[in-house]
A and B are shown apart, each in its own frame.
Chain A
């Protein structure tokens, strides 16, 4: 037996080696869901909010079991001549969203140009349910509910507490609380640089 590596130290070294091997092989297996890895890492792999780039990320998370969701959003003031956007066909467990250039004062559900349009459409095997904006009067205000650099999250969950079968929970990921640097792509930084490169830059952070 080698005297350079006493039995106890050899054992410890092997244990450490085993741990490293498990970690490396698990990573190489590609089995870990990238979203899961990022969630476990608290968003340190890739950003989950725009942070110091001049955007607000509006994100819908469909956390229902079996419902496909469509949502319409409105905001003030106009940006690029628009104050509304619609995203449909969001399947269960899916996350879909869009970026708004700062500054934005208010973000809410529904189409501010036509309040008769449904703010949310929930489709199940039993058919589609249209939900007016008044059912979930969510109007988020800058400074109180979000700031430039945040991700504003609308999570749709199953609910039996109302006749619509779903509930919408607003939330935010504070850009200011996001810790970098990131080991993966710095998503929003890339978007900002690309837009700057084509001469259509987003508005700088005030």
Chain B
């Protein structure tokens, strides 16, 4: 009996191997770094950001309260509560990891005050939310806060 090599068997093997590695774990940047002997010491470098901007046109310092969901390849989603403030008549930002899979805005509240104001459109999720996106929360002097996702 003879074994005949299948035509293009090498390519088929490569194809199967390629897709078997798409379990995501194999593509984890930290793992790639570990294999290179580097991640254990310094981890991965900057990878791009999602920027959250609070533009405060009012006359008092405001805090933006929100939840961030992180989904890393091959891992369960985790949720963190977060907050940052913008000065009166100014803006501030928080830059988030590109592993951010959702941002849920809870409210904009005066610093030291009790009553917060919810943001009308308040959930931004993948795939619309992507690495490099900007969430722009604008609080006008008069009227309700708005939030936009760009692009």
Contacts and interface: CB of A to CB of B under 8 A. Distances in A.
Given A14-B8, A15-B11, A169-B42, A200 B132 contact: no
A95 interface: yes
B151 A190 contact: yes
A99 B15 contact: no
Interface residues of B, number: 58
A198 B138 contact: yes
Contact of B46 (A48, A94, A157): A48
Contacts of B89: 200
Contact of A80 (B91, B94, B134): B91
Given A57-B95, A93-B72, A155-B42, A190 B48 contact: no
Contacts, number: 193
Interface stretch (B50-58, B104-112, B116-124): B50-58
Interface stretch (A23-31, A108-116, A124-132, A139-147): A23-31
B47 A38 contact: yes
A200 B53 CA distance: 12
Given A22-B15, A80-B87, A98 B45 contact: no
Interface of B: 8, 11, 14-15, 18-19, 22-24, 27-30, 32, 39, 41-51, 53, 55, 57, 70, 72-73, 78, 80, 82, 84, 87, 89-99, 127, 130-134, 136, 138, 150-151
